[in-house]
Amino acid sequence: MKKLLILIVVVVIIGGVIAYLKIASKPDDPLANARTEKVTRGDITLSAVATGKIYPLAEIEVKSKIGGVINEFFVEEGDIVEVGQKLAEVIPGATPLEMVRAREDLRSAELEKEKAENNYLRSQQLLKQGLIPTKEFDEVKTAYYLTEARYYAAKAELQVLEYGSKSSPTSKKEPEQGTEMQEAMKSMLLLSPIAGIVLSRDTDEGTTVVPLASASGGTIIMTIADVSEMHFKGDVDESDMGLINEGMPVSIKVESYPEERFKGELIKIAPLGREEENIVNFEVKVKILEETDRLRAGMSADAEIIVEKHTDSLLLLESAIIREEGKAFVYIPDPTSEEGKKKVEVELGISDGIHSEILKGLQEEDTVVIP
């Protein structure tokens, strides 16, 4: 019996201690450990972000009209070039069989030309004597001119092959500069189609190149860019497409200059989206409005398309806002409440993802309890 009494006393004492500790640990202020945030005043921007790269105004791939071997380059990567400036020379790399065929074609064209010329001269005499009609003479004359053109074309082709053949004994001689040959020589010279900078040289001297007219589209010899303007091209998520329009201002951040922002203008939105891994993006193009000497083609960049910007607005952290059934609420301190806080409705403006604009329901410096 005595042991039972002692046990009861011990249990009562332990229970009293536990109850005391609970009472002692209960804070007087129910919000003592709660996180709070004050309503501040500042600027806020609603924007859509595009991720992409910097591009020049135009980028041209230089290819050859004729197949052959690159004989000489006249420019290097990074050189500034003007319209019509010589870039490289491509000479035909004829095989011995092609040389034989070219000589045979020239001899055949020469014989046809001589035959047509004799027929033409004879017809001239017959026309003067009134022995043939004018129509017949015109047909003979046309045939002569056609054979003559084929002859000069065959001659120019052989001269070009001989000029480009390293093994030909006549390769060191300057070819005759007839009209056809001049045109053929021009086709061997690659001229710059635009004023700009040589971005890359994609081949070396001695490289065999495929002509532009081939099924493969031809060998890219070099790439030239017009850098008088620089553009940003990037992708915007389809969820932001309802926000953006051409003409909107853009702030561009380039990884190479993380502390700077370049001003731009949205000038193009792709009409067709691209789907990758079940995500649809739309390409946008931005014209950079500031000096772009430090920007280089291919630099990684992010573009912030400014949809809407408000100044001197009431701002609150997004994490403090509760959204329920299309409405927005916040908790504010309330000493009369058992929880020490109460729920109030607020009207929101725009959001930048970190802060929301408060239009109604709170004042500057109001304290808000973060749930």
305: in domain = yes
List the beta strands (DSSP E) in the chain: 36-38, 40-62, 68-73, 80-81, 86-91, 189-191, 196-201, 208-209, 222-237, 249-254, 257-269, 274-276, 279-288, 300-317, 322-324, 327-333, 341-351, 355-360, 367-369
Residue in the block written with tokens 């006549």: 170
Q: Which residue has the tokens 């502390």?
A: 259
Q: Looking at residue 334, what is its pLDDT?
A: 87
Cα–Cα distance between 341 and 368 in angstroms, integer? 9
C-alpha–C-alpha distance, residues 135 and 132, integer Å? 8
Please give the Cα distance from 58 to 61 (Å, whole number): 10
111 and 86 within one domain: no
Q: How many CA atoms lie within 13 A of 149 on its CB side?
A: 6
Nearest to 304 by CA among 100, 44, 82, 46: 46
Are 145 and 103 found together in one domain? Answer: yes
Residues 357 and 270 in one domain: yes
Residue ending a domain, among 224, 256, 280, is 224
348 vs 321: CA distance, rounded Å: 10
* Distances from the Cα of 278 to the Cα of 48, 50, 93, 274, 275, angstroms: 20, 18, 50, 10, 6
Q: How far is CA 290 from CA 111, 228, 262, in A?
A: 66, 11, 6
Residue 18 is predicted with a pLDDT of 58
351 and 254 in a single domain? The answer is: yes
Strand partners, 313: 42
State the CATH number of the domain containing residue 341: 2.40.30.170
The rounded distance, in Å, linking the Cα atoms of 358 and 83 is: 57
Residues 6 or more apart whose Cβ sits within 8 Å of residue 121? none
| Domain co-membership, 249 together with 321 | yes
Task: Specify if 9 maps to a domain.
Answer: no
Same-domain pairing of 274 and 250: yes
Alpha-carbon span 140 to 130, nearest angstrom: 15
Q: What's at 42, amino acid-wise?
A: G
Give pLDDT tens digits along the chain (371 positions).
555 555 555 555 666 555 555 544 445 566 667 788 999 999 999 999 999 999 999 899 999 888 888 888 999 999 999 999 999 988 876 666 766 787 888 888 889 989 988 998 998 888 888 888 988 888 988 998 999 888 888 887 777 666 655 544 344 444 454 555 566 666 778 999 999 999 999 999 888 888 887 778 889 999 999 988 999 999 999 999 999 999 999 999 999 998 899 999 999 999 999 998 889 999 999 999 987 788 988 999 999 999 999 999 999 999 999 999 889 999 999 888 888 889 999 999 999 889 999 999 999 999 998 88
Give me the CATH number covering residue 83: 2.40.50.100
Q: Are residues 84 and 50 in the same domain?
A: no
- Residue 349 is predicted with a pLDDT of 94
Range of the domain at 285: 44-54+227-369
- In this structure, are 216 and 318 located in the same domain? no
The answer to whether the beta carbons of residues 251 and 264 sit under 8 Å apart is yes
Same domain? 352 vs 238: yes
DSSP code per residue over 202-236: -S-TT-EE--TTSTT-----EEEEEEEEEEEEEEE
Residue 184's SS3 state is helix
- The helix (run of H) or strand (run of E) holding residue 117 is helix 96-128
- Do residues 296 and 254 make contact, with C-beta atoms less than 8 angstroms apart? no
Of 176, 196, 216, the one marking the end of a domain is 176
- Count of domains for the chain: 3
Residues 248 and 331 in one domain: yes
Considering 194, 224, 254, which residue would you say is the last residue of a domain? 224
- Are 354 and 293 found together in one domain? yes
**Structural domain contains residue 286:** yes
Give which of 355, 305, 306, 350 is closest to 51, Cα–Cα.
305
